Amino acid sequence: MALLGLAGQHTPYYVFTHGMLDPWFKKQYPLKHLKKWLYWPFVTYWLLRNARGVFFTTEEERILARQSFWLYKCREVVIGYGTSRPAGDPDAQMAAFQAAYPQTVGKRNLLYLSRIHRKKGCELLIEAYAKVIGNDTDWLLTIAGPDATGWRPELEALAERLGVADRVLWPGSLGGALKWGAFRTADAFVLPSHQENFGIAVAEALACSLPVLVSDKVNIWREIVQWKGGLVEPDDLAGTIALLEQWKAMTPAETEAMRAAALACFDANFDMQVSSARMIELLEAEAAHPSR
């Protein structure tokens, strides 16, 4: 519809893909990809090619976009994306979460906060937790988020079989002070996802000075590695085990350094004011040189 509306005009326009060109969808949903391919050469290809810029949230997203369709040509621009530092009193948020879930008090808590979905690698996290943490009662795994597909009972049964059910907390969806309290009381945020175009919860964790343990399919992994705000490994069981083993082996001084680096990573890359300023700068430059 956008292409038809702009036909015959000279109105400059931009396209924000929001991950829709990620090749993961091609592998996961081949029939849908085939349907997209049927109209790609006639519509989407030209929509992107004629755009003044095609916006990507990360360098990784830009690289991956080239792998979905062989007929691909556009002016790529990494514009960034982000959120804001959480408002409210951190101590009050921590107190609210611990009051609601007293079993977290005094524990080293690994936090997963996202949809409970097969794409997210939840089963890998539970298996790795059982392997690495075992019977250590000083640790707790919190898996928070809505059960998007009814998968949670199967995951709970997995935790039961592996002998860690009593050390896995399922608070469901969290919002407001409880959500921020979960971030602030955690030792680390874990997301072994198979595909994550950006991962806003990862950015939120960084904003709370919380180290992030993520797979290399979370598209902001390059920034995390560069700024040393967390650990990155492949999105399989071995990789998830490696994440937890490395984190467990870190000294208190190393974890504190990573907490500081996590916040620095957020401020430099994922603060909404930074990404907004980047977009404004680009559009102003385009307006100053319309024929470029």
Tell me the Cα Rg of the chain: 21
pLDDT at 53 over 60: yes
**Model confidence at 2, in pLDDT bands (50, 70, 90)?**
low
Q: Which residue do the tokens 């408002």 mark? A: 87
Q: What is the pLDDT of residue 173?
A: 96
**Segment 171-202, tens digit of pLDDT:** 999 999 999 999 999 999 999 999 998 889 99
Q: Which residue do the tokens 């040189």 mark? A: 289
Query: pLDDT exceeding 90 applies to what percent of the chain?
Result: 61
Cα–Cα distance for residue pair 206/231, rounded to 1 Å: 12
**Segment 255-279, tens digit of pLDDT:** 999 999 999 999 999 998 887 887 7
Greater confidence, 30 or 126?
126
Greater confidence, 50 or 247?
247
* Second-level CATH architecture of 90-270: 3-Layer(aba) Sandwich (3.40)
Mean pLDDT of the chain: 89
pLDDT at 229 over 60: yes
pLDDT at 124 over 90: yes
Q: What is the pLDDT of residue 69?
A: 77
> Residue type at 244?
L
Q: What are phi and psi of 143, to 5 degrees?
A: -110, 100
**Model confidence at 254, in pLDDT bands (50, 70, 90)?**
very high
Q: What are the domain boundaries of the chain?
A: 2-82+273-288, 90-270
Query: H helices within the chain, ranges in order?
Result: 2-6, 23-28, 30-39, 45-49, 59-65, 90-100, 122-132, 152-161, 176-185, 200-207, 221-227, 237-249, 252-269, 272-288
pLDDT at 291 over 60: no
pLDDT at 3 over 60: no
Q: What is the pLDDT of residue 33?
A: 63
**Model confidence at 126, in pLDDT bands (50, 70, 90)?**
very high
Q: What is the pLDDT of residue 70?
A: 78
Contact by Cβ (8 Å): 229, 264: yes
Q: What is the pLDDT of residue 73?
A: 87
